[in-house]
Chains A and B, each alone.
Chain A
Amino acid sequence: MAEDILHEVTSADYKYGFTTDIETDIIPIGLSEDVVRIISAKKNEPEWMLEYRLKAYRHWTTMTMPDWAHLNVPPINYQSISYYAAPKTNGPKSLDEVDPELLKTFNKLGIPLEEQMALSGIAVDAVMDSVSVKTTFKEVLAEKGIIFCSFSEAVEHHPDLIQKYMASVVPVSDNFYAALNSAVFSDGSFVYIPKGVRCPMELSTYFRINASNTGQFERTLIVADEDSYVSYLEGCTAPTRDENQLHAAIVEIIVMKNAEVKYSTVQNWYPGDKNGKGGVYNFVTKRGICKGENSKLSWTQVETGSAITWKYPSCILQGDNSSAEFYSVAVTNHHQQADTGTKMIHLGRNTRSHILSKGISAGVSNNSYRGLVRVGAKAENARNFSQCDSLLLGDKCGAHTFPYMEVNNETAIVEHEATTSKISEDQIFYCNQRGISTEDAVGLIVNGYAKEVLNKLPMEFAVEAQKLLAITLEGSVG
């Protein structure tokens, strides 16, 4: 009986699955030094950037795909992917120059690039396939000395900052996917908040894969200088396609003394169909460093998309009294697989970290939390609290927790709590008896379960995330 309900609630369709008919400049499939050179040349990059890419590429060729995650990753032929696709426009300077098809796409996604953004007070950078299409609000931000632009523009206009901070948190040799990204990354966003500046609006990037047979490899670099503050949002979608698409991104965040960065993601890449066909492989390296004293970094993620997710937004707590938070809701349905969590590396004194992970599994999916808390020998009075909850819908899905703790300082206090629960038939019937349909009941219960995390999201995002949770689980209870 519960099976039928589960089944009903998990069979909704992905509503971002359209494709855009737009002229695309795409390079032939395959990966080699020449391809890396072509990408760099297409972007008119300086020599140092090409050198960086080549170094990464050479390192990548010596590496193998990681296999330690609780994931079943089919073999990926890296020579059958195109590593660069761009809508055919040459650096639009104003909205008038942007292809109307492209604007339609972003409007469909609910990302109005026009001045109505002013009302919501969010500045947006939109990345389609490999190229950043348009960054809104650049001028307003520039008055405060804030830099918010595409990564390519930053390479051109702020080479000193890029050279100083790029790869300072995620080195090219960090892992297989990070090395791949470093070799072929196409675009992304760059943010710099100067000393003492509180960013007056939410900064936001939307990523979209459109072209088929392409990978998306974007990079985000955020630097918050001393005493600054910024809240950053990231959203992503992709069209419905039968083949799998590869997404391997890097996000690096540097937080200086007394600064604070909030990074929120709603990840909704195409998850594949009900039978597990198609979907995005999401292999992402996200890491930040609390470099200065009293710095603060907080990751909030709502993961509903992708066929496979491999992602561990992490934080190195280097500055004394620095703190980091990781709030996560990861939903898997049908054949989705997720292995996600965080690493909290305590190096400085009196550093604190808080981990709150809420996994929700339905269908025949697998959902794993993997987290590392490491306390270095000099991290006096480090403190961590981790809570990992799993919610199961049905009896064919899996929930797993892999907590690792390495404590090298006696004064540390590290706590871990974990729970696993199921939506009970009694809860659903109780809602039914109050006139609430089973589908709505599941949405209500799941949102209640995830509330602590959803509350951490900026308002507009929280509403979107709540809907997304319900949609993702439509047809999962019966």
Chain B
Amino acid sequence: MLQIKDLHANINGKEILKGLNLTVRPGEIHAIMGPNGAGKSTLSSVLTGNPVFDVTHGEVTFLGKNLLELAPEERANEGIFLSFQYPVEIPGVSMVNFMRTAINEQRKYRNLPPVSATDFLRLMREKKELVEMDNKLANRSVNEGFSGGEKKRNEIFQMAMLEPRLSILDETDSGLDIDALRIVANGVNKLKSPENASIIITHYQRLLEYIVPDFVHVLYDGRIVKSGDKTLALELENKGYDWIKQEVEGK
């Protein structure tokens, strides 16, 4: 589904990703862990086409297409979804209006007619329940005045609405209390299917108790330096990252 080969990326001339390789197949959940500044969030930004970053080398294919040639909105409409670490507020734009616009853009991209009002409202209701989201939140402006936890839950709600092929969760667990964490994880698990895949970027093993990954990768200094199964996450939790650093630098 997703192949990343020797990916290099800069921000303001500073190289952050330094030859990253990753392959994600349908149905898989990949966790990406690593110390601060390793390039975890850069990876999610580059995959979704954030113009702040420049890709200097490497290739990324998604469902057979050259992802790097696509505009951010095209990548989204191809089925890539990013749950932002810091979702922005858009004052005056209601969640309903925002979601309907997004869904209709996606449908237009896929040559489908706009969703009817009844279908849309039913979909909203259904997905709100999935993430136990308050009705009031759905009627407010996009993220405006939402608490940190509400914003994250809203991200998962949007993910549920848009039904992406590949979801990237960028530190979705940071700032969440244990209840919110459970709700978010539940949402993700319910959306899991043999056709879809997820990349979960996290600092901590905590989220991985709820969302069980098929693979765990350690990102360090712009490269994936170690991969394993879910037990790697536990090892990292117990031993920290220093041993990885030593291993890498020792090479």
A-side residues, CB < 8 A to B, are 1, 424-427, 429-438, 440, 444-445, 447-452
Contact = CB atoms under 8 A, between A and B. Distances in A.
Q: Which of B72, B82, B109, B158 has the most CB of A within 10 A?
A: B72
Q: Which of A432, A435, A450 has the most CB of B within 10 A?
A: A435
A440 B105 contact: yes
Q: Which of B73, B91, B101, B141 has the most CB of A within 10 A?
A: B73
Interface string B81-100: 11010011011110001100
Contacts of A452: 92
Contacts of B158: 434
Contact of B101 (A430, A433, A436, A438): A436
B198 interface: no
Contacts of A432: 49, 71-73, 76
B52 A430 contact: no
Contact of B90 (A440, A448, A450): A448
B102 A435 contact: yes
Contacts of A447: 92-93
Nearest to A443: B101
A405 B224 CA distance: 63
B140 to A, nearest CB: 12
Given A425-B51, A435-B77, A445 B162 contact: no
B12 to A, nearest CB: 12
Contacts of B88: 424, 426-427, 430
Given A429-B72, A430-B84, A434-B158, A448 B105 contact: no
B50 interface: yes
Interface string B103-131: 00110010000000000000000000000
B205 interface: no
A440 B101 CA distance: 9
A435 B51 contact: no
A447 B106 CA distance: 21
Contacts of B51: 1, 425, 429
B92 A435 contact: no
Nearest to A430: B88
Given A435-B105, A437-B105, A444-B101, 6 more contacts: A1-B52, A427-B90, A431-B98, A435-B109, A445-B90, A448-B91
Contacts of A445: 90, 93
B98 A444 contact: yes
A233 B196 CA distance: 52
22 contacts: A427-B88, A430-B84, A430-B88, A430-B90, A431-B73, A431-B90, A431-B98, A432-B49, A433-B48, A433-B76, A433-B81, A433-B82, A433-B84, A434-B98, A435-B73, A436-B105, A437-B73, A438-B73, A440-B101, A444-B97, A447-B93, A449-B91
Contacts of A444: 90, 93, 97-98, 101
A447 B94 CA distance: 11
B76 A435 contact: yes
A434 B93 contact: no
Given A425-B51, A429-B72, A430-B87, A436 B92 contact: no
Contacts of A449: 91-92
Nearest to B97: A444
Q: Which of A437, A438, A445, A448 has the most CB of B within 10 A?
A: A448
A437 B102 CA distance: 9
Nearest to B144: A448
Contact of B92 (A433, A434, A440, A448): A448
Interface in B154-213: 158, 162
A430 B95 CA distance: 13
Contact of B50 (A429, A434, A437, A451): A429
B50 A435 contact: no
CB-CB nearest 6 A-B residue pairs:
A448-B92, A448-B93, A432-B72, A435-B76, A434-B102, A451-B92
A449 B141 CA distance: 11
Given A430-B87, A435-B106, A440-B105, A450 B92 contact: yes
Contacts of B73: 431-433, 435-438
Contacts of A427: 88, 90
A425 B52 contact: yes
A327 B85 CA distance: 37
A452 B106 CA distance: 28
A424 to B, nearest CB: 7
Contacts of A434: 76, 98, 102, 105, 158, 162
Contacts of A425: 51-52
Q: Which of A438, A450, A451 has the most CB of B within 10 A?
A: A451
A6 to B, nearest CB: 13
Contacts of A426: 88
